Amino acid sequence: MRVERKGIPISSGIALGRVVLLDRSRMIVERTQIDESLIGTEKDRFLQSVRRSKDQLLSIKDKLEPLEGGEHLQILNINIMMLEDELLSDEVLRFIETERVNAEWAVNHILSKKSEAFRKIEDQYMKERLADIYYMGERILRNLHGVAEDIPDLGRDSILVAHDISAVDVVAFAKHNAIGIATDTGASTSHSAIVAKSLGIPTVMGLEDITLRACPGDTIYIDGFRGVAVLDPAPGEQEEFRQRKTSHMALEKKLLEYAKLPGRTLDGCEIKVNANIEIIEELDHAVCYGAEGIGMYRTEFLFTKSDYFPDEEEQYDNYRKVVSALRSPLVTIRTLDIGGDKFPSGMESSQKLNPALGLRGIRFSLRDEPTFRTQIRAILRAAEDKTVRILIPMVSDMAEITETKSIITETAAALGRGGSWQIGVMIETPAAAITASDISGEVDFLSIGTNDLIQYTLAVDRVNEHVSYLYTPFHPAVLRLIKGVIDSAHSNGIPVSVCGEMASQLPCVPLLVGMGVDELSMNTHSIPRVKKLLSTITGKESKEIVGECLRLKTGPEIRRRLSGLLIDKWGDSFPPEFLAEIVSDS
């Protein structure tokens, strides 16, 4: 019977194949009191299971190509290091001895205790650290029980279907030629998701009950762009999906052609089209899809992927790769945007803080000044002969800018790097937007984070299904704020970038161009589309469109009028695949 499910698009691409069900059911653990004479034996059982678990991961790692790196290798190494953690082993061994219990119960107890802090945390980054602990514990328990984790034989066109999947399993199955992944649970920030992206496997997560609906050998279609999975499609549909895959491959070729275009309108307005990246493995995609610079490197994953913050050398190595990846001198590194609920497990967090409006962004960095200074030192060292742009998140007060500039100036002077940096501010709070004229006089550039700016301006949680319909970039308050920020930046002689989702939404691009934005920064896959759109519009007429739209009073009015104007002016020039997005009501 045909079943269609909508989930979370994780890794782009289209796959049509046969279901291979992965069963990683949770091990049932019972507490057993043991005789004192058996304590040594139980400790040995635990240590042997840890060794077996480590050997299994090393075996997977050894199967990778000799020169193959990527986030999947890094995450494998993290899992191996977790198994080498002597503190963890000591806790389990001590619990076996003091409580005189079986090794399975000791492992379950200690890891449950470590997981407790994560369960209280709402931030998705840190929830995924809980997933890593869970996967490690399950591997140790399976080895204690002697349960093999063999990779089933994969034929051609095998698509892995699982309730959940670890990053380790993603790597292992990818090396056994899986062409796609579909899971009941999961999130875009999980290690599993990041590895799937790194390996380029079409993946959809959060499908809720796909494992209950699928049987081994069923035909399944997954669309990693739209986050859709279809089980048992009709024969006619299967042909349509094959054509869709062919069309996708043709579109990819088009995108690679569009990637060669400059960021320039028909009448010569230069707009830098840059990449937002989160992990260094995205740098290759940025180059491939024609990024003219790094408009924002988010450093959160570097800080939250393990239990403790990275030291200066680890950060330096990471930032150096970012700075040297593109020929462009334009590299923007955003300082740490964590706090509130975003803490590695090695640090204490306060459950009293609202994660969205609490101690986060620059507020957190200024509170934890040693960590902030370490990050600034690593960034400035990585700049070497280039000028790196340091972007400060979640600014709402001028005092934060003054204090930050002082720290950067002192650190640069100590390193002898006086002219190797510029400072910019993320405009993502209404306070920052309203005082953009004052802020512009103190910094070298502005970057508008439209995702948070829209959310805070409209008082709408964009992931709350009950109010998400109110979240729109076309609300007149949002557009007027953005226009005011751009005007303020230009009146002070500094450039302004837009780095939120608006920068990659085709109907929004002419609005931003018409407002005078200097740079657009986005996910790598959107860069060629935006470059192509820029090549079909003019700055002069985009400015006229902005004038008409800003006279309207509601978001729906603006959206409808904008669609009409874009089609009237350039409809014949837009690629056919752009039209649906441009005329959509959303």
- Show which residues are catalytic: 191, 499
Helix (H, G, I), strand (E, B) or coil at 366: helix
DSSP-assigned letter for residue 25: P
Taking the CA of residue 282 as centre, how many other CA atoms within 13 Å lie in the half-sphere pointing to its CB?
20
Compute the distance between CA of residue 272 and CA of residue 295 in angstroms, rounded to an integer: 9
Taking a C-beta distance cutoff of 8 angstroms, is the pair 206, 198 a contact?
no
| Beta pairing, strands 496-498 & 445-448 | parallel
CA 212 to chain CA centroid, Å, is 29
Taking a C-beta distance cutoff of 8 angstroms, is the pair 509, 530 a contact?
yes
Helix runs in 266-308, H state only: 283-288, 300-304
Compute the distance between CA of residue 440 and CA of residue 425 in angstroms, rounded to an integer: 9
β-bridge mates for residue 20, sequence order: 160
- Six-digit token pair at 23? 């069963």
Tracing tokens 């024609």 back to the chain, one arrives at 290
Tracing tokens 């507490």 back to the chain, one arrives at 31
Q: Kindly report the three-state secondary structure assignment for every residue of 391-427.
A: EECCCCCHHHHHHHHHHHHHHHHHHCCCCCEEEEEEE
Taking a C-beta distance cutoff of 8 angstroms, is the pair 490, 522 a contact?
no
Helix (H, G, I), strand (E, B) or coil at 308: coil
Taking a C-beta distance cutoff of 8 angstroms, is the pair 490, 484 a contact?
no
Long-range Cβ contact pairs of 203-209 (< 8 A, separation 24 or more):
203/10, 203/11, 204/7, 204/8, 204/9, 204/10, 204/228, 204/229, 205/7, 205/8, 205/10, 205/181, 206/7, 206/8, 207/5, 207/6, 207/7, 207/182, 207/183, 208/5, 208/7, 208/184, 209/5, 209/184
Tracing tokens 């806790």 back to the chain, one arrives at 91
Tracing tokens 């649906």 back to the chain, one arrives at 580
Compute the distance between CA of residue 228 and CA of residue 67 in angstroms, rounded to an integer: 34
- Six-digit token pair at 193? 């998701």
Output the CA–CA distances (angstroms, integers) from residue 198 to 54, 287, 402, in the order listed: 23, 15, 39
Query: Measuring CA to CA, which residue among 267, 43, 23, 348 is closest to residue 161?
Result: 23
Amino acid letter, residue 522: M
Query: Measuring CA to CA, which residue among 586, 388, 424, 439 is closest to residue 506?
Result: 586
Terminal-to-terminal C-alpha distance of the chain: 32
Taking a C-beta distance cutoff of 8 angstroms, is the pair 137, 19 a contact?
no
Is the Cα dihedral 306, 307, 308, 309 positive or negative?
positive
